[in-house]
Amino acid sequence: MFRGIVFDLDGTLADSRLDFAAMRTETGCPEGTGLLEFLEHLDSDTERARAHSVIHKYEMQGAERATWIDGAESLCSLLVKRSMPFGLFTRNSREAALLMMESLGIPTPVLVAREDAAAKPDPEGLLHIAGHFELDTAEMLCVGDFRYDLEAAANAGMPSCLFDPTGDSPHAPLADFVINRFDELAQLLFGDSP
Ligand SMILES: [Mg+2]
Protein backbone atom coordinates (compact mmCIF):
# COMPACT_ATOMS: atom_id res chain seq x y z
CA MET A 1 0.00 0.00 0.00
CA PHE A 2 2.74 2.50 0.97
CA ARG A 3 6.10 2.59 -0.77
CA GLY A 4 8.01 4.97 1.50
CA ILE A 5 7.85 6.67 4.87
CA VAL A 6 8.79 10.06 6.25
CA PHE A 7 9.30 10.27 9.99
CA ASP A 8 9.38 13.21 12.29
CA LEU A 9 12.34 12.86 14.64
CA ASP A 10 11.63 14.36 18.05
CA GLY A 11 8.77 12.70 19.90
CA THR A 12 8.32 10.19 17.09
CA LEU A 13 11.51 8.14 16.61
CA ALA A 14 13.57 9.78 19.33
CA ASP A 15 12.88 11.23 22.72
CA SER A 16 15.26 14.07 23.49
CA ARG A 17 13.12 15.29 26.39
CA LEU A 18 13.31 18.81 25.03
CA ASP A 19 12.17 21.19 27.73
CA PHE A 20 9.87 23.36 25.63
CA ALA A 21 8.66 25.28 28.71
CA ALA A 22 12.23 26.30 29.57
CA MET A 23 12.95 27.14 25.94
CA ARG A 24 9.88 29.38 25.86
CA THR A 25 10.83 31.11 29.10
CA GLU A 26 14.41 31.67 28.04
CA THR A 27 13.55 32.95 24.57
CA GLY A 28 10.40 34.83 25.64
CA CYS A 29 8.29 32.83 23.21
CA PRO A 30 4.62 32.88 24.24
CA GLU A 31 2.62 29.69 24.73
CA GLY A 32 0.76 28.74 21.57
CA THR A 33 3.41 30.15 19.20
CA GLY A 34 5.91 27.82 17.54
CA LEU A 35 9.50 28.59 18.52
CA LEU A 36 10.65 28.83 14.91
CA GLU A 37 7.70 31.07 13.99
CA PHE A 38 8.52 33.25 17.01
CA LEU A 39 12.14 33.47 15.90
CA GLU A 40 11.15 34.47 12.41
CA HIS A 41 9.03 37.37 13.63
CA LEU A 42 11.58 38.91 15.96
CA ASP A 43 12.44 42.45 14.83
CA SER A 44 16.13 42.67 15.52
CA ASP A 45 18.90 40.41 14.31
CA THR A 46 20.49 40.55 17.75
CA GLU A 47 17.34 39.26 19.45
CA ARG A 48 16.99 36.58 16.80
CA ALA A 49 20.59 35.47 17.22
CA ARG A 50 20.18 35.31 20.99
CA ALA A 51 16.94 33.29 20.80
CA HIS A 52 18.52 31.05 18.19
CA SER A 53 21.47 30.28 20.42
CA VAL A 54 19.11 29.40 23.29
CA ILE A 55 17.22 26.96 21.06
CA HIS A 56 20.49 25.53 19.75
CA LYS A 57 21.80 24.98 23.27
CA TYR A 58 18.67 23.04 24.30
CA GLU A 59 18.57 21.06 21.06
CA MET A 60 22.18 19.93 21.38
CA GLN A 61 21.68 18.98 25.04
CA GLY A 62 18.57 17.06 24.04
CA ALA A 63 20.34 15.35 21.16
CA GLU A 64 23.12 14.16 23.47
CA ARG A 65 20.75 12.38 25.81
CA ALA A 66 18.19 11.25 23.23
CA THR A 67 16.81 7.73 23.44
CA TRP A 68 14.75 5.67 21.03
CA ILE A 69 11.01 5.90 21.46
CA ASP A 70 9.67 2.45 22.45
CA GLY A 71 9.36 0.21 19.42
CA ALA A 72 10.84 2.72 16.96
CA GLU A 73 14.22 0.99 16.67
CA SER A 74 12.76 -2.39 15.73
CA LEU A 75 10.35 -0.71 13.34
CA CYS A 76 13.28 0.98 11.58
CA SER A 77 15.11 -2.36 11.39
CA LEU A 78 12.01 -3.91 9.88
CA LEU A 79 11.83 -1.14 7.26
CA VAL A 80 15.45 -1.79 6.32
CA LYS A 81 14.81 -5.54 6.16
CA ARG A 82 11.78 -5.04 3.92
CA SER A 83 13.61 -2.47 1.76
CA MET A 84 11.04 0.18 2.56
CA PRO A 85 12.76 3.55 2.08
CA PHE A 86 12.34 6.16 4.76
CA GLY A 87 13.58 9.66 5.47
CA LEU A 88 13.49 12.20 8.28
CA PHE A 89 11.92 15.64 8.21
CA THR A 90 12.54 17.63 11.37
CA ARG A 91 12.24 21.17 12.67
CA ASN A 92 15.51 20.59 14.59
CA SER A 93 18.83 21.93 13.38
CA ARG A 94 20.87 19.68 11.12
CA GLU A 95 23.63 19.50 13.73
CA ALA A 96 21.27 18.33 16.49
CA ALA A 97 19.45 15.92 14.18
CA LEU A 98 22.72 14.40 12.92
CA LEU A 99 23.94 13.96 16.47
CA MET A 100 20.73 12.13 17.37
CA MET A 101 20.87 9.98 14.24
CA GLU A 102 24.46 9.08 14.95
CA SER A 103 24.09 8.33 18.65
CA LEU A 104 20.98 6.20 18.11
CA GLY A 105 22.12 4.71 14.79
CA ILE A 106 19.01 5.70 12.86
CA PRO A 107 19.51 3.96 9.52
CA THR A 108 18.43 6.50 6.91
CA PRO A 109 20.40 8.40 4.30
CA VAL A 110 17.84 11.20 3.96
CA LEU A 111 17.55 13.99 6.46
CA VAL A 112 15.72 17.25 5.87
CA ALA A 113 16.43 19.56 8.80
CA ARG A 114 15.64 23.17 9.61
CA GLU A 115 18.36 24.57 7.32
CA ASP A 116 17.33 22.41 4.38
CA ALA A 117 13.72 23.38 3.75
CA ALA A 118 10.91 25.58 5.00
CA ALA A 119 9.72 24.30 8.38
CA LYS A 120 6.65 22.12 8.77
CA PRO A 121 3.73 22.67 8.22
CA ASP A 122 5.26 23.75 4.90
CA PRO A 123 5.41 20.61 2.72
CA GLU A 124 8.79 21.42 1.11
CA GLY A 125 10.73 18.79 3.08
CA LEU A 126 8.20 16.07 2.30
CA LEU A 127 8.34 16.91 -1.40
CA HIS A 128 12.14 16.77 -1.24
CA ILE A 129 12.15 13.31 0.36
CA ALA A 130 9.52 12.00 -2.07
CA GLY A 131 11.69 13.32 -4.92
CA HIS A 132 14.79 11.68 -3.46
CA PHE A 133 13.10 8.28 -3.50
CA GLU A 134 11.37 9.02 -6.82
CA LEU A 135 8.00 8.35 -5.24
CA ASP A 136 4.74 10.14 -5.48
CA THR A 137 3.70 11.82 -2.22
CA ALA A 138 0.42 9.89 -2.35
CA GLU A 139 2.38 6.59 -2.17
CA MET A 140 4.14 7.60 1.04
CA LEU A 141 3.15 7.94 4.68
CA CYS A 142 4.17 10.81 6.93
CA VAL A 143 4.47 9.74 10.57
CA GLY A 144 4.68 12.30 13.37
CA ASP A 145 3.47 13.22 16.82
CA PHE A 146 2.33 16.79 16.30
CA ARG A 147 -0.07 18.95 14.36
CA TYR A 148 2.72 20.35 12.16
CA ASP A 149 3.54 16.85 10.86
CA LEU A 150 -0.06 16.18 9.88
CA GLU A 151 -0.53 19.60 8.34
CA ALA A 152 2.67 19.30 6.30
CA ALA A 153 1.44 15.93 5.04
CA ALA A 154 -1.93 17.38 4.04
CA ASN A 155 -0.12 20.23 2.27
CA ALA A 156 2.02 17.71 0.38
CA GLY A 157 -0.85 15.41 -0.58
CA MET A 158 0.75 12.69 1.56
CA PRO A 159 -1.27 10.42 3.84
CA SER A 160 -0.50 11.03 7.50
CA CYS A 161 -0.16 8.92 10.59
CA LEU A 162 -0.25 10.37 14.08
CA PHE A 163 1.96 8.68 16.66
CA ASP A 164 -0.06 9.12 19.83
CA PRO A 165 1.52 7.06 22.64
CA THR A 166 -0.72 8.51 25.34
CA GLY A 167 -3.87 8.08 23.28
CA ASP A 168 -5.14 11.55 24.05
CA SER A 169 -3.61 13.75 21.37
CA PRO A 170 -5.89 16.60 20.31
CA HIS A 171 -4.41 16.32 16.80
CA ALA A 172 -5.97 12.92 16.02
CA PRO A 173 -8.78 14.37 13.87
CA LEU A 174 -6.14 15.77 11.48
CA ALA A 175 -4.58 12.35 10.79
CA ASP A 176 -5.51 9.67 8.28
CA PHE A 177 -4.22 7.01 10.67
CA VAL A 178 -3.52 7.03 14.40
CA ILE A 179 -1.19 4.60 16.15
CA ASN A 180 -0.40 4.31 19.84
CA ARG A 181 2.53 1.94 19.39
CA PHE A 182 4.96 1.17 16.59
CA ASP A 183 3.89 -2.44 16.14
CA GLU A 184 0.61 -0.98 14.91
CA LEU A 185 2.56 0.81 12.19
CA ALA A 186 4.23 -2.49 11.18
CA GLN A 187 0.75 -3.96 11.01
CA LEU A 188 -0.48 -1.06 8.89
CA LEU A 189 2.50 -1.28 6.52
CA PHE A 190 3.06 -5.00 6.22
CA GLY A 191 0.21 -6.71 8.00
CA ASP A 192 2.53 -8.12 10.64
CA SER A 193 4.62 -7.10 13.65
CA PRO A 194 8.35 -6.38 13.89
MG1 LIG B 1 7.72 15.73 16.94
One domain for residues 57 and 74: no
Q: Is there a contact between 100 and 14 (Cβ–Cβ < 8 Å)?
A: yes
Cα 148 to averaged position of ligand 1 atoms, centre (Å): 8
Ligand 1 centroid to Cα of residue 139, in Å, is 22
Q: Are residues 80 and 32 in the same domain?
A: no
Please enumerate in sequence order all residues whose Cβ is within 8 A of that of 18, keeping only pairs 6 or more positions apart, or say none. 10, 58, 59, 62
Cβ-Cβ contacts under 8 Å for 15 (sequence gap 6 or more): 66, 67, 68, 69
CA of 70 to the centre of ligand 1 (A): 14
How close is the Cα of 69 to the center of ligand 1, in Å?
11
Within this chain, do residues 106 and 158 fall inside the same structural domain, yes or no? yes
* Nearest by Cα to 8 from 155, 134, 124, 113: 113
CA of 8 to the centre of ligand 1 (A): 6
Separation of CA 7 and ligand 1 centre (Å): 9
State in Å: Cα 4 to ligand 1 middle: 19
How far, in Å, from the CA of 46 to the mean position of ligand 1?
28
Rounded to a whole number of angstroms, the distance between the first and last alpha carbons of the chain is 17
Residue 109's pLDDT is what?
83
Give 25 Cα–ligand 1 centroid separation in angstroms.
20
Q: What per-residue confidence (pLDDT) applies to 6?
A: 98
Q: Specify the pLDDT at position 192.
A: 61
- Please indicate, yes or no, whether residues 97 and 127 belong to a single structural domain of this protein: yes
Name the domain count of the chain. Answer: 2
CATH number of the domain where residue 142 is located: 3.40.50.1000
Residues 73 and 160 in one domain: yes
* Residue 126 shares a structural domain with residue 156: yes
Residues of the chain with pLDDT under 50: 193-194
Residue 30 CB neighbour total at 10 angstroms:
8
CA dist., res. 11 & res. 16, Å (int): 8
Amino acid 93 reads S
Own/partner long-range contacts of 129-136 (Cβ < 8 Å, ≥24 apart): 129/4, 129/6, 129/87, 129/89, 130/4, 130/6, 130/156, 130/158, 132/87, 133/3, 133/4, 133/85, 133/87, 135/3, 135/4, 135/85
Whether 76 and 141 map to the same domain: the answer is yes
Instruction: Output the CA 124–ligand 1 centroid distance in Å.
Output: 17
Statement to judge: residues 57 and 108 lie in one domain: no
53 and 141 within one domain: no
Q: How much is the pTM?
A: 0.90
- 9 & 98 share domain: yes
Range of the domain at 108: 4-15+68-190
Same domain, 138 and 51: no
Ligand 1 center to 146 CA (angstroms)? 6
